[in-house]
Amino acid sequence: MRRALVLLTAALALLGLTGCESNEARVRKLLARAEAIEDTAPADSLIALADRILKLDPRSAIAYDLRASAYQTRNDLRAALRDYSSALRIDPDFPEALEERAGVYEDLGMLDSAAADYDRLIELQPTEPERYLMRGLLYLELDKSGLAVDDFNRVIKALPDEPEAYVYRGDAYSDRDSLNRALADYEAALKLAPGLSKIYDHRGLSFADHGLYDLAIADFTRVLEIDKRNAGAWESRGDCYAELKKFDQAAMDYGEAMAIDSLRADIWAKYGHAYLKLGKADKARLFLGRAAGTGVRLVDVSPDSVRNWLGQLK
């Protein structure tokens, strides 16, 4: 009997099921399990697993990173930020945690903090073109188009056949009112990837920003030939028709956009405004009222504009 117990204890030890196993060994096994299921397990399961690891090892930067990623999946951005920051306090040179925290900062509108994380990432990985691409995109959000151009130049030097780098540099040139240089970059991107709808979309937006609405409409139409369920292209083409006072066509495009993305208050507002201009008061009141009264945040259209348009219906 004693021999059987000894053999059973030995077998359990090999399986990691006895109290003789060290915390370090348990942590390794739990981390291995986390790695195996990270892409498929529900966020709550990953959070529970990370909690187990942190109970055994409160200084596991990987566990904090795992839990932060799960919180991010649940869109609990504050909790994700807290855990990414905990991981980085333990390991300041943890590139994955820096990258993910920068993304959370962006989602929270904390763009300067995101920029600081990207700066640190580039210090750690100065030869990685992806890092410059991410920082360049952030510089576009910060209206620092000159710095964005510098970063996209580095990407293009390292990856001359990457079409998106030319697209984004084109956006930066457009923001600097260098439309001809922007168009040259969009053309370079099209030579590399003639079927990539993003190129036409971004060029269309640049044309629209410079008041070239007919050219923009042609590009958005090309996007929709490639992908008819691109709500943004329907909306952007509608915006161009509205600028040209072609409100019947604008209304049709906004209707298509709304059929694909029914939760955007901006589309409701633009749709209602088009009907207002067409003299269709009932439909205008319906969609403008929805934009004003549901509590969904407006981004492109100001709440004051919506209230003003509603006032015109009284």
What does the pLDDT look like over 2-35, one tens digit per residue? 444 333 344 434 444 445 567 788 878 888 887 8
**195-262 fold:** 1.25.40
Q: Which of 206, 216, 261, 219 is nearest to 239 (CA)?
A: 216
Amino acid at 225: E
Model pLDDT, residue 1: 40
Per-residue pLDDT, 8: 36
- pLDDT score of 39: 81
Greatest extent of the chain over all pairs of C-alpha atoms, in Å: 93
pLDDT < 70: residue spans in the chain? 1-21, 295
The structural domains of the chain, with segments of one domain joined by +, span 21-101, 195-262, 264-314
Q: What is the pTM of this model?
A: 0.84
Q: Per the structure block, which two tokens stand in for 21?
A: 């196993």
Q: Please indicate whether the domains covering 21-101 and 195-262 agree at the CATH topology level.
A: yes
pLDDT of residue 21: 64
pLDDT score for 2? 40
Contact 237, 221 (CB under 8 A): yes
Q: What is the pLDDT of residue 298?
A: 83
Q: Indicate the helix (H) or strand (E) that contains 84.
A: helix 77-90
Tokens of 141: 């959000």
Q: Tell me what pLDDT residue 11 has.
A: 40
Q: Which structure tokens are listed for 5?
A: 């117990």
- Count of residues for the chain? 314
Contact 168, 184 (CB under 8 A): no
Give residue 293's pLDDT. 82
CATH topology of domain 21-101: 1.25.40
Cβ atoms of 282 and 310 within 8 Å: the answer is no
